[in-house]
Amino acid sequence: MKKTHYCKVDYSHPLGNCLFKGASILRWGGTVAFPTETVYGLGANALNPQAVEKIFQAKGRPADNPLIVHIAWEEELDKLAIHIPPVAYLLMETFWPGPLTLVLPRHPGVPDLVTAGLDTVGIRMPAHPVALTLLEKARVPVAAPSANLSGKPSPTNGLDVLRDLVGKVDLVMDGGPSKVGVESTVLDLTVDPPMILRPGGITQEQLVHILGQVQLDPALQEGAVGQPKSPGMKYTHYAPKAQVTVIQGMETSDLSFLNDLVIQGRRKGQRVGLLLTSETAQAYRGNYAKPHYLEVLGSRRKPEEIANHLFRALRNCDRNRLDLVYAEGVSEEGLGMAIMNRLTKAAGYRILQV
């Protein structure tokens, strides 16, 4: 066990102790969890393989999963990537700092461990003021995956980071709740047209607006067809201990099928949870069988609300010791694509169409 320090960022003195502590730990090769606008990251000096190794150990992350390198200045790109296409600068101009990770041909100076041996590297400039100031003060590029134990939902607040990583990292910086709530969009710029490898905080529509054309990784399209698949090992990310089912096509006018599912679960002695939009929750409550737990994700009309609550909701399933969870599916438009990607993964692609 390591001693894990914890500090809250004092926004009235944003350059206070917590930031200096974080920056100096990063410089001497330690591990620091810090807030970003998407989710919390677990950072280490990207150019120091011993430091990066500590990230994999703390998370229990498989070594074949590459890390995103975070930077504060565009000039740092030249140390990390080569043959940067002009379109990269257009995207940086538009979306950085922000939730877009660009996959570029890797500079030979980037350690193998960071890229998992790939010849590309993922890079992003986060928009959170604490993350940016931390990177500026540390004066090194920072490799940072989400600050959760491998397989768990990404943490969107300092306490969820502590719950996963206490005793495993040097410092947890608490900067309050994350704004976006889902991770960055990962966009591969080594192919033409650019390819979305992971939907996230920047939407496909936003990218098409700038690029004209983008393609979706075929693996994503497969997952999005809506047919239940057997949950393979690689699909168990974000999964609570409960069995999660995503329900598509819910109509607030008749929720009797949901009522039946809750009753069936209760009869078997299982603890049942519902993750619903506010519209559905309102129609369900008071009219149908009571679940053991109900979490309102946000309004159907405000996918940013749903994204913001999603990972906390998935973590709450474990905290409430649920056995069965029914989660309402949303439209795949805009941020909905990222939301449905995470939800269907959490469900191991168990999807029910009504």
Q: Which is nearer to ligand TXA, 179 or 350 (CB)?
A: 179
Q: Which of 4, 36, 146, 157 binds Mg ion (CB under 5 A)?
A: 146
Q: In angstroms, rounded to a whole number, what is the distance separating the alpha carbons of residues 104 and 144?
A: 17
Is residue 224 helix, strand or coil? Answer: helix
**Partner that binds at residue 32, options ligand TXA, Mg ion, none, CB closer than 5 to 8 Å by kind:** none
> What three-state secondary structure class fits 327?
strand
- Which 198-237 residues touch ligand TXA, going by CB under 6 A? 198
Q: Which residue's CB is nearer to ligand TXA, number 65 or number 353?
A: 65
Indicate which single residue of 4, 120, 316, 341 sits in contact with ligand TXA (rule: CB under 6 A).
Answer: 120
Count of residues near ligand TXA by CB under 6 A: 25
Single-letter amino acid code for the residue at 321: R
Residue 313 CB, nearest distance to ligand TXA (Å)?
18
- Binders of ligand TXA in range 44-83 (CB under 6 A): 65-68
Secondary structure of 237-287 in HEC code, one letter for each residue: CCCCCCEEEEEECCCCCCCHHHHHHHHHHHHCCCCEEEEEEHHHHHHHCCC
Q: Which is nearer to ligand TXA, 58 or 274 (CB)?
A: 58
Residue 7 interaction partner, one of ligand TXA, Mg ion, none, beta carbon < 5-8 Å per kind: none
Rounded Cα distance between 66 and 53, Å, is: 12
Where is 343: in which H helix or E strand?
helix 336-346
184 binds, among ligand TXA, Mg ion, none (CB under 5 to 8 A by kind): ligand TXA
Decide: is 145 part of the binding site for ligand TXA (CB under 6 A).
yes
**In angstroms, rounded to a whole number, what is the distance separating the alpha carbons of residues 8 and 256?**
46
Residue 100 C-alpha from the chain's centroid:
12
d(C-alpha 47, C-alpha 49), whole Å: 6
**Interaction site with ligand TXA (CB under 6 A):** 36, 38-39, 41, 65-68, 99, 101, 103, 115, 118, 120-122, 126, 144-146, 183-184, 186, 197-198
**Interaction site with Mg ion (CB under 5 A):** 146
